[in-house]
Amino acid sequence: MNELKEIAKDAESILIAGHKRPDGDCVCACAAAYHYLKKIYPDKQIDVYLETLPEVYSFLDEEGTIFSNQVKNICYDLVIALDSSTADCLGDAEKAFYWAKKTVCIDHHISNEAYAGQNLINPKASAACEVLFGTMPEEEIDFKIAEALYIGIVFDSGMFRHSNTSRRTMEIAGILMEKGIPFWQYIDKCFYERTYTQTQLLGRTLLASMRLMDGKCIVAAITRRMMEFYGAKPEDMEGIIDQLRITKGVEVAILLYEVGDQQYKVSMRSNNYVDVSKIASFFHGGGHVKAAGCIMQGSMHDVVNNLTEHIEMQLNEAGAADHAL
């Protein structure tokens, strides 16, 4: 059986772990799994590891008792990896994952390597939270679980705008709404509301962006110096890539975040023709057809040139296919 309660039935110590630099889907999947297992098995030891908790999702753990950025040095009976396509995405929890007696991965990334003992992976799902929903009987989902699952699905589906949004996605959202959650509040709270620092960083990044390939590609970069100047944290970059993507005439948006000397975290979004997951995978990253990322070495100029070479190749192939029709 793929029900979460069956998976965890014989485990007395459980670690729930999300990927490095966790996003909304990752945070919410961890929160939902925790609340569900704690409800079903209140006496089990259930720990949750996240490298950091973005401030925007702090209301999911108001008392600070759920998430921890430390991993206990014990051999867990069960480690559940959420929204993580590879084991090394788990950061400090990777060692605990390999030490565990039993491992499970619940994910939706097409690039997932099925690295756990048991893998529940659905690349067609909009979010890890959508896959996780399928492991829980509907009648056992309460308010807190529904809240986390809903926000995670909304995050990774781009508020139901991305192409990974399916009929099933909308059906699940409806089921979760019926649990009494204030679904209308989450959009503003988690996606539109910005601090002044975030607004400044967004403005500076958009101002310095540049268009390439006859406007089909837009690129922007955030340097460590910019982050220091505004006193910004990595989570303050949330939403910038989507602002780039919706620029008229753009097919692919690229956001570079400087994380080290000549080292950049690359985020990519596409609108119609380009499969950015293929590009990210080529550079040892991963993600989805319309949203993917990777880490790249080299000067900013070299990174952009390497990425646009692959983008141009796909655009040419798409153009050739259209011409053939």
Closest by CA to 81, choosing from 153, 30, 23, 45, is: 30
| Residue 213 CB coordination number (10 Å) | 15
CATH of domain 196-324: 3.10.310.30
Percent of the chain with pLDDT over 70: 97
86: Cα separation from own chain's centroid: 13
pLDDT of residue 322: 55
Residue ranges, comma separated, of all CATH 3.10.310.30 domains in the chain are 196-324
Confidence of residue 164 (pLDDT cuts 50, 70, 90): confident
Token digits of residue 284: 């040892």
Asked whether the predicted pLDDT for residue 61 surpasses 80, the reply is yes
Instruction: Give the integer Cα–Cα distance in Å for 234 and 49.
Output: 18
Q: Where are the alpha helices (DSSP H) in the chain?
A: 4-7, 24-40, 94-99, 128-133, 143-156, 167-177, 183-187, 196-207, 224-230, 240-245, 276-282, 300-324
Asked whether the predicted pLDDT for residue 325 surpasses 60, the reply is no
pLDDT tens-digit map of 105-151? 999 988 888 999 999 999 999 999 999 999 999 999 999 999 999 99
pLDDT of residue 174: 97
Task: Show Cβ contacts of residue 68 under 8 Å, excluding neighbours closer than 6 positions.
Answer: 47, 48, 49, 50
Asked whether the predicted pLDDT for residue 300 surpasses 50, the reply is yes
pLDDT tens-digit map of 78-112? 999 999 989 999 999 999 999 999 999 999 988 88
pLDDT of residue 265: 96
Identify the weakest region by mean pLDDT among 37-51, 208-222, 233-247, 256-270: 233-247
Angle at 274 (CA atoms; ends 152, 244), nearest 5 degrees: 60
Token digits of residue 35: 């609340």
Confidence of residue 22 (pLDDT cuts 50, 70, 90): very high
- Contact at 8 Å (CB) between 317 and 232? no
pTM of the entire structure?
0.77
Assigned CATH topology for domain 4-192: inorganic pyrophosphatase (n-terminal core) (3.90.1640)
pLDDT tens-digit map of 223-260? 999 999 999 998 899 889 999 999 999 999 999 999 99
| Residue 37 CB coordination number (10 Å) | 23
Task: Show Cβ contacts of residue 184 under 8 Å, excluding neighbours closer than 6 positions.
Answer: none
Q: Where are the alpha helices (DSSP H) in 237-299?
A: 240-245, 276-282
pLDDT of residue 229: 96
pLDDT of residue 238: 85
pLDDT tens-digit map of 23-42? 999 999 999 999 999 999 99
Asked whether the predicted pLDDT for residue 304 surpasses 80, the reply is yes
Percent of the chain with pLDDT over 90: 81
pLDDT of residue 173: 97
Any idea which residue has 């994910």 for tokens? Answer: 107
* Maximal C-alpha separation, the chain: 63
Neighbouring-strand partners of residue 296? 264
Confidence of residue 291 (pLDDT cuts 50, 70, 90): confident
Over residues 306-316, the mean pLDDT reads 95
Closest by CA to 250, choosing from 279, 301, 304, 214, is: 214
Confidence of residue 320 (pLDDT cuts 50, 70, 90): low
236: Cα separation from own chain's centroid: 15
Residue ranges, comma separated, of all CATH 3.90.1640.10 domains in the chain are 4-192
